[in-house]
A and B are shown apart, each in its own frame.
Chain A
Amino acid sequence: MNNLVKKITIVMLIGVVFSLTGLAQAAEKIYVPMLTYTTGPYAPGGLPIDQGFRDYFKYVNATGGVNGVMLDWETCEYGYNTGRGVECYDRIKSKNGKMGVAVFPLSTGVTYALIPKTQADGMVLHSMGYGRTDASDGRVFSHVFTAPMTYWSQVTAITKYIGEQMGGLNNLKGKKIALVYHNSAYGKEPIKTLEVLSKKYGFKFLKYPVNHPGLEQKSTWLKIGRQTKPDFAIIFGWGVMTQTSIKEAKAIGYPVSKIIGNWWSASENDTRPAGAASVGYKAAGFHTIGKKYQLHKDILAKVYGAGNGSGEKSVVGEVLYNRALVQGVILTEAIRAAQKKYGNIAINGKQLAWGYEHVNLTSSRLNELGLGGFMKPLKITCANHEGANNLLIHEWDGNNWVNPSKWYTPMYDVTRPMIESSAAAYAKEKGITPRSNCN
């Protein structure tokens, strides 16, 4: 009995000592709360991103942190449910009294919900390739970032690609382009842009909403395949929706090669479950796919080699895993930019926002990071939180993503005025005075 008591006391003492040292270390770390979803109908999308995030953070820490400052993170599982997402954010936004610096909600709905909350908490909200498009206007949304590209820019680049397939954008006249979208904030984002483009180029734009979670699309594809027969169909799906779309399209006889998924409908988890049906399926992305880059080799060596991997080794290099790396790289670059101004310290969210506005990922910098050719250079500015980037289209051959297209530059001349007018309307509704010291 006495022995047992002794043992317990020792274990408890060790625990206390460990937690105390943990506290001491936490003070110098940069803390990032991570909202993830690895369960529910959207888990196929959430899992590889979660793994990529954590791998990259571990890799950064294994290589000495960001200018000597370590990263610290905490995850919270919210199942893509907006209510739970807000609860999760509140639960993990700070650790040991230290507020996190940035949050990546991975859901357009939660992004909307967190815009006022992160503002109050002085945190950066980086919705990379999702979320509120007009938040790209940094004069109105000082703490929200949408780099490297938004949905609006994405559909303009996809339209360019489609135009090229038709032999030029002028040939789009009289053609039909369908949008099959997740009937939520996320799926509806590109509608306005496509309406503008359809007027500009004279193609007919058809809308097909698919309700959450996206398992019922029979009538949608029946209409597409038998009735309207569009020349191209763009899919804005997430989770189980995309694979269902591909299967239904195949079943109805609509050519899968005429379907272009947006970058959230572009992963192996969308095409593999659809099996042979998905051969020829095309999908967009703002980065390439695969693990031939130096960063991947380093992660495999330093994180997985040390037995610290956050998941299956085979996932490294998958589309969504690579997307998480883009997120991680932009974050660490922003931290570095902020540290140039504020010194090599554990910066706070406000300082990070400044850093984000001075991110300049040149191609030589990408080479240094071991990502040469992985994505196009990115420069974020105070006024333009989207930055400028390029998009490319891959094709699924049944096993791998192949035939990367050339890089397409979005029609920023179309999207930027839309972003600015939408942001101005938001500022007016909310009583925000846009920052004037940006230009």
Chain B
Amino acid sequence: MIYREAGQFKTSYNSDQALLPVAQDRFFVIGLLVVAYLVIPFVANDYWLNSIFLQFFIFALAAIGLNILTGYAGQLSLGTGGFMACGAFSAYKLATSFPDMHIIIVLFIAGLITALVGMLFGIPSLRIKGFYLAVSTLAAQFFLLWLFNRVPWFTNYSSSGVISPPPIKLIGDYYITGPQATNLTQYFFTLTLVVVMALGARNIIRGHIGRSWMAMRDMDIAAEIIGISPLRAKLSAFAVSSFYCGIAGALWAFLYTETVQPLAFEINQSFLILFMIIIGGLGSILGSFFGAAFILVLPIFLNSAPALLGLKLSGSLVTHIEFMVFGVLIVFFLIVEPHGLARLWGIAKEKLRLWPFPY
């Protein structure tokens, strides 16, 4: 009853092809944006803004990137961490070589560089698929980190190989990185970027490129027969996916940890993002957000829950409880809904359509 599209007539092609054709979906997303822009910044404290939302947005962006490649185009990738590192290091090189370059341009070019690197590592996907491709993307992960560790040029010959981004101004006197940057500036900047890029991803996926990815994913031979070029479809998926991952990596290094170090983009990071899209839902933009929230925010919540409840437990015990509860929850959700949280969301919507008179 709540979620019913009955009576919503589409009288033009434009309304039929809208991004969110159902009015309730539209209201929901607009409501969410209003909350994100107008409520959260005034309610949340620095901890929530910086440690929860900022991290969440950045990982959601990376998850969207991987979802494009794995969820939509069907190319299993374990190189996300490497691509994120690539974005972070390109952004660092750009920001230090051209101090006057605007942060948006820095991020955009860093994304483009990562897209190129991603395409390079995507070439094997033309010949191999499935687990074999996972191994070749694993090579990207290890090779890229090795490269950044090994070649001192990437770190501007810093002694420890850990570098920090220079303070960059966003507009006027508002800094986006460095000690003068406020959490609010970073929050609004990342939020806007994520919204724009998520909308962009959804649009690409609806278009002929996205359809060619999905055709490739569902059956590559059939796709080829109906005239989709595997070269173009697969490499474009790698490019777009890496573009997103690269920007996410640059944001993580520039805004969140404020250091760029290869160790932060380890193989664990790649797994984490892969888990995000598996738990969240393969082939779903919304699922990327769900997954990021589940994998990233839930452990932090579990870790701080005992203290919030007033229980005085030792740090190691809390962490062990966190691991156990989190593991159980992953298993639970995968048993309840193997297609991820996005599918649960879909089921919930279908139930709401019939409510209160299910048949």
Please report A residues at the B interface, Cβ cutoff 8 Å: 15, 36, 38-39, 43, 47, 50, 75-77, 79, 82-84, 86-87, 90-91, 108-109, 112-113, 115-117, 119-120, 132-134, 183-186, 188-189, 191-192, 209, 212, 422, 429-431
Interface of chain B residues 71 through 99 with chain A (CB within 8 A): 96
The one of B166, B264, B314 that contacts A83, using a Cβ cutoff of 8 Å: B264
Is B338 in contact with chain A by the CB < 8 A criterion? no
Given contacts A83-B256, A183-B149, A189-B159, contact A36 B315 (CB under 8 A): yes
The one of B46, B96, B178, B261 that contacts A185, using a Cβ cutoff of 8 Å: B261
Contact sample, A vs B, 24 pairs, CB 8 Å cutoff: A38-B314, A38-B315, A39-B319, A77-B316, A77-B319, A82-B259, A86-B256, A87-B300, A90-B46, A91-B47, A109-B162, A115-B258, A116-B164, A117-B258, A119-B179, A184-B162, A184-B263, A185-B261, A188-B159, A212-B263, A212-B266, A422-B159, A430-B166, A430-B167
User: CA A195 – CA B31 in complex, angstroms?
Assistant: 59
Given contacts A43-B316, A91-B47, A185-B263, contact A77 B258 (CB under 8 A): no
User: CA A377 – CA B110 in complex, angstroms?
Assistant: 49
In the assembled complex, which residues on chain A have CB atoms less than 8 Å from the CB atom of B178?
116, 430
Closest beta carbon of chain B to A200's beta carbon, Å = 17
In the assembled complex, which residues on chain A have CB atoms less than 8 Å from the CB atom of B179?
116-117, 119-120
Q: Are A192 and B164 in contact (CB under 8 A)?
A: no
User: CA A117 – CA B183 in complex, angstroms?
Assistant: 11
Closest beta carbon of chain B to A224's beta carbon, Å = 19
User: CA A191 – CA B160 in complex, angstroms?
Assistant: 8
Closest beta carbon of chain A to B19's beta carbon, Å = 32
Nearest chain A residue, comparing its CB with the CB of B96: A429
Is B114 in contact with chain A by the CB < 8 A criterion? no
Given contacts A82-B264, A113-B257, A113-B258, contact A185 B161 (CB under 8 A): yes
Interface of chain B residues 148 through 190 with chain A (CB within 8 A): 149, 156, 159-162, 164, 166-167, 177-180
Is B203 in contact with chain A by the CB < 8 A criterion? no
Please report B residues at the A interface, Cβ cutoff 8 Å: 46-47, 50-51, 55, 96, 149, 156, 159-162, 164, 166-167, 177-180, 252, 256-259, 261, 263-264, 266, 300, 303-304, 310, 314-316, 318-320
Closest beta carbon of chain A to B318's beta carbon, Å = 6
Which of A109, A116, A133 neighbours the largest number of chain B CB atoms within 10 Å of its CB?
Answer: A116
Q: Are A112 and B261 in contact (CB under 8 A)?
A: yes
Q: Are B160 and A185 in contact (CB under 8 A)?
A: yes
Q: Are B261 and A82 in contact (CB under 8 A)?
A: yes
The one of A86, A212, A429 that contacts B51, using a Cβ cutoff of 8 Å: A86
Closest beta carbon of chain A to B252's beta carbon, Å = 8
In the assembled complex, which residues on chain A have CB atoms less than 8 Å from the CB atom of B304?
91
Q: Are A120 and B180 in contact (CB under 8 A)?
A: yes
Closest beta carbon of chain A to B294's beta carbon, Å = 16
In the assembled complex, which residues on chain A have CB atoms less than 8 Å from the CB atom of B161?
184-185, 188
Nearest chain A residue, comparing its CB with the CB of B260: A112
In the assembled complex, which residues on chain B have CB atoms less than 8 Å from the CB atom of A75?
315
Q: Are B166 and A109 in contact (CB under 8 A)?
A: no
Closest beta carbon of chain A to B266's beta carbon, Å = 7
The one of A39, A50, A113, A188 that contacts B160, using a Cβ cutoff of 8 Å: A188
